[in-house]
Amino acid sequence: MTDMRQSEYPIDPLFTERWSPRAFTGESIAEDVLMTLLEAARWAPSSYNAQPWRFVYVRRETPGWKPVFDTLVEFNQSWAQRAAALVVIMSAKEAVFPGSTESELNPWHSFDAGAAWASLAFQATLLGWAAHGMAGFDADQLRQAVQVPEGYAIEAVVAIGKRADKSVLPAELQSLEAPNGRLPLAQLVAEGTFRFEA
């Protein structure tokens, strides 16, 4: 990895080795491998154990691929075409909380779905796969394509694949194909009050 991937404090290398490449080999993913990634997502932390996350997946060789792929913006289509699978991550906007029998708004549904996405991404890294989350898609078209009920938010689409050399990418994307860095901890963490270095 590059110098941008050096932690300021000791952490497991998994956290700096995980990144979001766009160059994929086009290799297929076995369903049991994909289920392992989704199993990791299933065990993510969840507020009140509401588990609002839902996942719809399509593999490139299947009829379900095109309806989901077609919802991606052109930029994402230019590289995600070589992914092995796409996973649509959704979250239930309501939950039945402990002590209640009625469904009510769950303010933490997106937060929990983010935890599930991170778990999926780390498990992919552990197994030698890569996962790249995308916000660039037509939400209305995607909602229709995978029949998402109104009570669910569409959070992201994740491309999963085996990493390839950047030469498989369109020329304009090759310069982007490298792990990026993070802001210094001092710009992200403060004790006691909202006080951060510029």
- Helices 31-42 and 109-126 pack at an angle, to 10 degrees, of 140
Residue among 69, 71, 54, 43 at smallest CA distance from 161:
69
What 170-174 contacts at long range (C-beta under 8 Å, 24+ apart), as own/partner pairs, is: 170/78, 170/79, 173/22, 173/78, 173/79
Q: pLDDT at residue 102 above 90? A: yes
Average pLDDT score over residue span 17-26 = 98
Residue 11: other Cβ atoms inside 10 A: 9
Residue 198's pLDDT band (boundaries 50, 70, 90)?
Answer: confident
Cα–Cα distance between 5 and 124 in angstroms, integer?
A: 18
pTM of the full structure: 0.95
What's the pLDDT tens digit per position in 47-96?
Answer: 999 999 999 999 999 999 999 999 999 999 999 999 999 999 999 999 99
Average pLDDT score over residue span 93-104 = 95
For residue 3, the model assigns a pLDDT of 58
For residue 111, the model assigns a pLDDT of 98
Average pLDDT score over the chain: 96
Q: pLDDT at residue 4 above 80? A: no
Cα–Cα distance between 108 and 52 in angstroms, integer?
A: 9
Residue among 122, 118, 158 at smallest CA distance from 13:
122
Q: pLDDT at residue 136 above 80? A: yes
- Give 37's Cβ-side CA count (13 Å radius): 29
| Assigned CATH for 8-166+178-187 | 3.40.109.10
Domain range list for the chain = 8-166+178-187
Average pLDDT score over residue span 38-43 = 98
What's the pLDDT tens digit per position in 120-131?
Answer: 999 999 999 999
Q: pLDDT at residue 1 above 60? A: no
- Give 102's Cβ-side CA count (13 Å radius): 2
Cα–Cα distance between 42 and 52 in angstroms, integer?
A: 10
Cα–Cα distance between 4 and 184 in angstroms, integer?
A: 10
